[in-house]
Structure 1
Amino acid sequence: MTTSEFPGSALTPEQVRLVEELSRSLDPMQARWISGYFAGFDAGLRRPLSQPASSAAAADARSLTILYGTETGNAAGLALALEQAAQAAGLACKRIDMADYKVRQLGQEQDLLVIVSTYGEGDPPQPATGFFEFIEGRKAPKLEGVRFAVLALGDSTYEYFCQAGKRLDQRFEELGAQRLAGRVDCDVDYEEPAAAWTGAIVAQLAAETREASAAVPASAAAPMTQAAVPLFDKRNPFPARILDNIPIVGRGSSKETRHIEFSLEGSDLRYEPGDALGIAASNDPQLVAALLDALALSADTEFEHRGQKLALGEALTHRFEITAATPRFLDYWALISEAGALRQLQQEDRAGERSVFLRTHHIIDIVRRYPVSPVMPQGFVSALRPLQPRLYSLASSLASVSDEAHLTVAPLRYELHGETRCGVASCLLADRAEPDSELPVYIQSNAHFRLPGDDTPIVMIGAGTGVAPYRAFLQEREARGAGGKSWLFFGERNFRTDFLYQTEWQGWLKDGTLGRMDVAFSRDGQDKVYVQHRMREQARDLFAWLEEGAHVYVCGDASNLAPDVHQALIDVVAQEAHTGREAAEDYVRSLQADHRYQRDVY
C-alpha cells in the first residue's frame, strides 16, 4: 500500500509503514476496538478550532453512563474497556457498578450503556439484585428522555440464555427509553462480539458529539487515558509452576479434595483475599482421542482457522470446548446429520426438552448417537465454542505466602451414558497437574468479596471447597494483626475424613485470629446437619454480631448452599428482631446494599 491509495494522500510513507505494522499485530477484537477509537478521534479532529464553546453546544452534550452488573468480573472488564474506548474518542463518561449505583438518579440519565451477565437460570448477578428489584418494581421512574444500549453476557448451555440482559432491555423499553442500538447477546466466547459492540457504539456517540458540539474547541475534549495493562492476564496467562498437589481428605473419604500450590515468582501478579485464579485449561487427551475416533478423523488432519493452519488434535486439546453441547452445536449437527429427532429439538416450543437434552448429552454422545461421515474439520470446529478458562477462589494471601497462589479443588466426576465423565479443569488439576509442571494462570479480581477494615467483625459461611477464601481471609488478618472478631461456619460430610485444613483452623482458634467456629458434618449422624442448621442454633449470637456491624460472607454451591443460607439468615433476623418476614427480608437486603453481605457462589 502507498500513500496514493489513501484518499487525499493523507499519510506519509512513514505513517503508512506504522499503520501496516500495527494492522499486522492486531487480532479481530483489537481491530474492532481501534476502529471505534479512531472514529471518535476523527470526531475530535473535525471540531473547528477557531470557534469558542457556546452555551448551546454545551447544552447539547449528553451525559454518558456505563452501568455494569457482574458476578465473576467479565462484565466489569468489558465496562472498563468501554470506558477507555469512550475516553480515547473524546467522550466524557462515568462507569458505575450496579451494586453501587444510586437508583434514584436513573431518571436523570441521558445515555446509558449497560453490560450485565446472567447468573444461573436467568438471574441477575447477586451484587446487582438491588438494581433489578428497583427497576422492575413500581417505583421505577419513566425514562422517556433516556437512550440506552444493552450488552448481555450469558452461557447458551442454560435455558435462560442472557436472561438478565433481556430483562433490562425489555424493562427500559417499557419505561419509555429509546434504544441507541439493538441488544447484543454474548455467549461465553464474548470477546469479539463485545468488542464489535463497543467499537460501534463509541463510533456512533462520537459522530453525534461531532455534529452536536461542532463549536466546542478540540482542547475541551476529555483527555485520552489508558489504564495500565498487566503483563500477564486472561489473554496472556502466566506459566505457573506447580509446587505441590496433595489430597487433604482422610483415607476412606467419600469425596476427593486437593490442595494445590502454584509459584507466581517472576510474574508480578498480585491479588487480594477474595480474588480468583483463572486456569487456562486443556481437554483430557483421552477424550480428544475418543472424539476423533467417533468422527473418524485423524489428529494430524489440518484445517484453516482465522488465517492459521492448525492440526485438529492440537485444536481440540487446547482451543475448543469439546464437552458441553450448546444450541450452536445442536443446530450444526442437526443440519449435517439430518436427524429428525435433532430437528424437532430446534423448534421454538421445545425449549425445555432442548435444554434437558443438552444437559444430558455431551458432544461426543451426539456424534455417536447420530453419526455422520465424512465430517469436515473446519465445519466441525466452527460449531464449537473457544475453550474458556476456569476460575477458582484463592485459598491464600500474599501477606502470608509471597509469590504463591493456593487452591482448594474437588474434581468433578460423574457417570453419563455408562461412562465416567470429568470436569475439564478440576480433573486436569487433580489428575495431570504434577509438581514442577506448568499451567497458564491469571488473576481475576473480585471486588464483591472483600475483607472490611481490620476492626470489623466477620462471619464466614462455607461448605466443602467454599472454605478456600476464608483461609485467605485469616492468613491476611493474621499477617496484619487485625483485631476484628471472626466466626466461621464450616460444613462437610464427615468429621474424621473431611475436616479440611483442620489443624490450621485450630491454630487460629488458639491464637485468637479466629474467634468462633461452628461445624456441620452432614453424614456423621442419623439426621443430616448443614451450616444453615448451625446458623439457626446460634441465632441469638449471630444476630448480635449483625447488630454490631459484622460483615457476612457465603461461599460454595449456588443451587443449594446459597439459597439455604440466605433463607436461614432471614429466619435468624425475623426470630431475633421479633419482626415479620418482609421486614427481615428488608434487613438482609440492606446488608447487601451496604456490602455487608457478600457471596461467592458457583
Structure 2
Amino acid sequence: MFQLVKYGKNLINSQHANLSYLLNLFIKLLFLLGFVLWAWMFSLNSSHTQTRFSIEGVTQHSNGEKVFDSFTIKQLEFFDETRLIVLNQEFEIINYLSSRQLAIAHLLEQIGLLFCAAIVIISLLLWKQKEQQRLSLFAFCFVACALFSGCFTLFNLDVNNGLSLYASIGILSICFVFYASSYSLLNARSQTASTLLAFASQSGTAMSIAERFHKQLPNTFDLRCLSSLTPDCLGRYRQVLLIASTYGEGAPPETAVTFLNKMKQTQKLTNKVNFSILALGDRTYQHFCAFGHQLAHLLSSKGAKQITDVIEVDRGDKDAIGHWWQQISHFIGKEQSTVSLTDNYHLFGTHSNMLVNPQKPKRAAHRITFKNEGLTYQAGDLLEVIPKYDAIKCQQMLREKGFDCQQQVIFQNTEMPLFEAVRQSNWLGESATSAQQLVDVLTRLPPRVYSIASAPHESNIEIFVRRHFDDLGKPGLASNYLCDLSENELISARIRHHASFHLPKRHCPTILIGAGTGIAPLISLLKGMSVNEQRIPAWLFFGEQSKSTDFYFKDEINAMRSDKSLTHFTPAWSRDGGGYITEQLEQQASSIKKWMLDDNAMIYLCGKQKGFGQSVISCLKSILEEHVYQSLIEDKRIRVDLY
C-alpha cells in the first residue's frame, strides 16, 4: 500500500506542470460558462420584471390568508404553455418563466452545485503551487461560485426569499474587485521574487541564518528548504543563494540527499542561474565545509554560474557570514542593504548541577538545570551557550604577560574586567601594548549547542552534558565549563528553535532511538507527548554500556512507562550482554516496518554521528529499504539530529 501511494505521488509530481495547466484551463472555462449564464439570465430577468401587475380574483379569508380561486388560476395560463409565476407579498407578478427557461433552471439546479464543487476541488488540487498563487486561486474560486449562485437568484428572483437583483449585482462586483486586487498584488510580488534563498540544515543552524536574512528583507527572497527543490525550480530564479551545512565528516544533511540525486540525473539546467554558497562547518572535522564545495561543483557542472567563491564559515563565524553578504549584495540589487547578525543572548542562573554516574569519571555525565526567565521553546529545541575558559587559568596567563586582570575594558560593547573578556574570547597568549588594544583584536568564542531535555511546561531548562577530553587528555572547553558550573552561577545563552526535530502536529505512533547523551531531546519529546490526554504508542530504543551506572533519566522513563505515555522500551546495555541498538532494531525489524508503513509512525534519531548514527541509519535502510527510507526523510517522518 505504501509503495502504491508513493508511486501515485511520484506520478503526479512528474506530470505537475501539465496537470496544473489543464486544471487552470478547466477552471477558467467553468468561470466563463458561469459568467455567460449569469449575463443571459440577467437580461431575461430585467425584461420580465419591467412588467408588474396585480392579480384579480384573490379571496381573503377571515384568518387573513389570501388564496386564488380556480377561475383566476386559469386566466394566468398564457396560450398553451405552462409558466412559472413569481409573486411578491402583495400578490403582484414580478417574474415569469417559460417552459424552456424552466427546463434550463432545473438543469442548473442539478449541475450548478456540481460546478461549484468542481471549482473548489480544482482550486485545492492547485493549492500546492507557488505560495503567492494561493490567494488568487481562492479569489477566482469565490467569483466563480458567486456567478453560479447568482444564476439561481436571477432564475427564481423572489424578494421574499432571495437576494434582490441589486444585491446580487453588488456581491458579484465586490468579488470581481477582490479578484482583480489580489491578482494585481500577487503579480507585483512575483516580479520582485527573483532571488531564491535556500538552506540545507541538519541541526537548524543554516535554517536559522536563512530565516534571519529573510525576515529582515521581506518580499525580496523566496525562502525554501533544499529538500523541497527540484532542478526545474532553480530555473525560475535569476539568483540562487544557498546556505549549506556540512554534516559529520563531509556528508550532506539528510534532507538534501534527494535534491543532490535529482541534480546528478539532470543533463543541464534549462535557464541561466547565478548562485552563491555560504558553507557552514566545523574546522575540528577533517572535511571542513565539504558539502558546500560539493554543491558548488555540482551546480557549475550543470550550467549554473557561480558569482562568488564558496565562503566557509567555522562554527557560525559572523564575520564570514557578513563578508558573504557584502559580496552578493550587488548581485541581488541591494547595494546599501545591511543585515544584523546580532544574537539576543540572555543570562541564565544555574539551578542545579548533578553528576549522574560518579562511578565513571572518564565518562562523567551531568544533568544541569537553569532557571527559565519566561523564555518559550518547544520539545526538541536547543540551548545555545557561550562557553568560557577557566577564570583562574586566564588570570594566571594575563599576569605572566604583565597585564592587570581587573583592569576595565570594553569587549563586545560591554564594560568588564580584562580577565572576564579574555576568558570568553579566542585568546592564544598574544601580547599588546595595552589591555584595551588586546581585547580590540579578540573575537568571542563560538557558541556550543546542546539539546534541551526538559519540556516547555516545566519551570527549569535542563541539558545533559558529558565531560569531554580529547585523545591527549586535554579537557573540552564547553563541556568542562558547563560541568563545573556551581549553583546560581550565570551563563550567557539563548534558545535556538530546531523545527526539524519538533513533534508533528498530528498525533501518531513514535519511535525514538538514542544513545548516551543523545537521549536528552528524546526525553523532552516524550515529556511533550505525555501532556496529551490521548495516549499514542511511543517506543524508546536506548543504548549505553551498563544498566547499573548508565540508566540516565531512569525515574522519568519508569514514570512514563507507568502512565503509558511510553508504551515500549527497548534498552541495549552493551556490557551487560544486551548487545547494541542495531541488534535490537534488527530483532524488532518486522514491528518497526509495520509501525512505519502501516501505522504512519515517526522516527526520531539522536546521538553521535560517528559509529552510532552511521550504523543505525544503515540498519534502518536495511529494514525499510533505502528508497523507502529516503522517502520518509523527504516526508519528515524520519528526523535525525546527530553530532
Structure-1-length-normalised TM-score? 0.68
How many residues are treated as equivalent by the alignment?
Answer: 456
Mapped partners of 2:213, 2:555: distance in 1: 46
| Secondary structure, counterpart of 2:474 in structure 1 | strand
Equivalent residue, structure 1, for 2:640: 599
Instruction: Tell me the alpha carbon deviations over residues 345-370 of structure 1, each in whole angstroms, 9 at most, x when there is no partner.
Output: xxxxxxxxxxxxxxxxxx6xxx8xxx
Mapped partners of 2:594, 2:277: distance in 1: 42
Deviation of 1:390 (Å): 1.2
Equivalent residue, structure 2, for 1:398: 456
Equivalent residue, structure 2, for 1:142: 269
Gapped regions of structure 1 (runs ≥ 5): 1-52, 211-223, 323-362, 574-583
Mapped partners of 1:511, 1:426: distance in 2: 34
Deviation of 1:280 (Å): 1.8
Equivalent residue, structure 2, for 1:288: 394
- Pick the aligned partner of 2:621 from 545, 549, 570: 570
Q: What are the residue-to-residue correspondences of 1:245-264 with 2, within 5 Å?
A: 245-249=353-357, 251=359, 255-264=363-372
| Secondary structure, counterpart of 2:363 in structure 1 | coil
| Secondary structure, counterpart of 1:158 in structure 2 | coil
Mapped partners of 2:507, 2:623: distance in 1: 24
Mapped partners of 1:295, 1:121: distance in 2: 38
Mapped partners of 2:610, 2:433: distance in 1: 38
- Counterpart residue type for residue 469 of structure 2: R
Q: Does the 8 Å contact 1:107/1:141 carry over to 2?
A: no
Q: Which moved more, 1:180-189 or 1:238-247?
A: 180-189
Q: What are the residue-to-residue correspondences of 1:536-547 with 2, within 5 Å?
A: 536-547=586-597
Mapped partners of 1:204, 1:499: distance in 2: 55
Q: Which moved more, 1:534-543 or 1:178-187?
A: 178-187
Q: Which moved more, 1:584-593 or 1:189-198?
A: 189-198
Equivalent residue, structure 2, for 1:119: 247
Instruction: Tell me the alpha carbon deviations over residues 413-434 of structure 1, each in whole angstroms, 9 at most, x when there is no partner.
Output: 3562xxx422222212211x11
Q: Does the 8 Å contact 1:240/1:441 carry over to 2?
A: yes
- Counterpart residue type for residue 149 of structure 1: S
Equivalent residue, structure 1, for 2:381: 275
- Pick the aligned partner of 1:514 from 556, 566, 580: 566
Equivalent residue, structure 1, for 2:343: 235
- Pick the aligned partner of 1:100 from 228, 234, 239: 228
Mapped partners of 2:245, 2:233: distance in 1: 22
Mapped partners of 1:481, 1:61: distance in 2: 47
Mapped partners of 1:404, 1:279: distance in 2: 16
The structure-2 alpha-carbon separation of the partners of 1:564 and 1:295, relative to structure 1 and needing over 3 Å to count, comes to farther
Q: What are the residue-to-residue correspondences of 1:289-438 with 2, within 5 Å?
A: 289=395, 291-292=397-398, 299=405, 313-318=419-424, 320-321=425-426, 386-399=444-457, 401=458, 403-414=459-470, 416=472, 420-431=473-484, 433-438=485-490
Deviation of 1:495 (Å): 0.8
Q: Percent identity?
A: 26
CA-based RMSD of the aligned residues comes to 3.5
Mapped partners of 1:280, 1:471: distance in 2: 24
- 1:479 to 2:531 alignment: yes
Structure-2-length-normalised TM-score? 0.64
- Counterpart residue type for residue 426 of structure 2: E
Q: Does the 8 Å contact 2:192/2:220 carry over to 1?
A: no
Mapped partners of 2:526, 2:236: distance in 1: 43
Q: Does the 8 Å contact 2:193/2:222 carry over to 1?
A: no
Mapped partners of 2:220, 2:596: distance in 1: 40
| Secondary structure, counterpart of 1:421 in structure 2 | coil
- Counterpart residue type for residue 580 of structure 2: Y
The structure-2 alpha-carbon separation of the partners of 1:472 and 1:304, relative to structure 1 and needing over 3 Å to count, comes to closer
Mapped partners of 1:58, 1:534: distance in 2: 53
Gapped regions of structure 2 (runs ≥ 5): 1-183
The structure-2 alpha-carbon separation of the partners of 1:121 and 1:289, relative to structure 1 and needing over 3 Å to count, comes to farther
The structure-2 alpha-carbon separation of the partners of 1:198 and 1:570, relative to structure 1 and needing over 3 Å to count, comes to same
The structure-2 alpha-carbon separation of the partners of 1:445 and 1:306, relative to structure 1 and needing over 3 Å to count, comes to closer
Q: Does the 8 Å contact 1:86/1:202 carry over to 2?
A: no
Equivalent residue, structure 1, for 2:579: 529
- 1:551 to 2:602 alignment: yes
Q: Which moved more, 1:274-283 or 1:160-169?
A: 160-169
Mapped partners of 1:57, 1:127: distance in 2: 32
The structure-2 alpha-carbon separation of the partners of 1:199 and 1:286, relative to structure 1 and needing over 3 Å to count, comes to same
Q: Does the 8 Å contact 1:273/1:396 carry over to 2?
A: yes
The structure-2 alpha-carbon separation of the partners of 1:76 and 1:454, relative to structure 1 and needing over 3 Å to count, comes to closer
Deviation of 1:454 (Å): 5.1
Q: What are the residue-to-residue correspondences of 1:17-32 with 2, within 5 Å?
A: none
- Pick the aligned partner of 1:444 from 489, 492, 496: 496
- 1:244 to 2:352 alignment: yes
The structure-2 alpha-carbon separation of the partners of 1:189 and 1:61, relative to structure 1 and needing over 3 Å to count, comes to closer
Deviation of 1:382 (Å): 8.6
| Secondary structure, counterpart of 1:529 in structure 2 | coil
| Secondary structure, counterpart of 1:108 in structure 2 | coil
- Counterpart residue type for residue 457 of structure 1: P
- 1:496 to 2:542 alignment: no
> Comparing both chains, which one has the higher relative contact order based on Cα–Cα distances under 8 Å and sequence gaps of 6 or more?
1
Deviation of 1:513 (Å): 0.6
The structure-2 alpha-carbon separation of the partners of 1:553 and 1:373, relative to structure 1 and needing over 3 Å to count, comes to closer
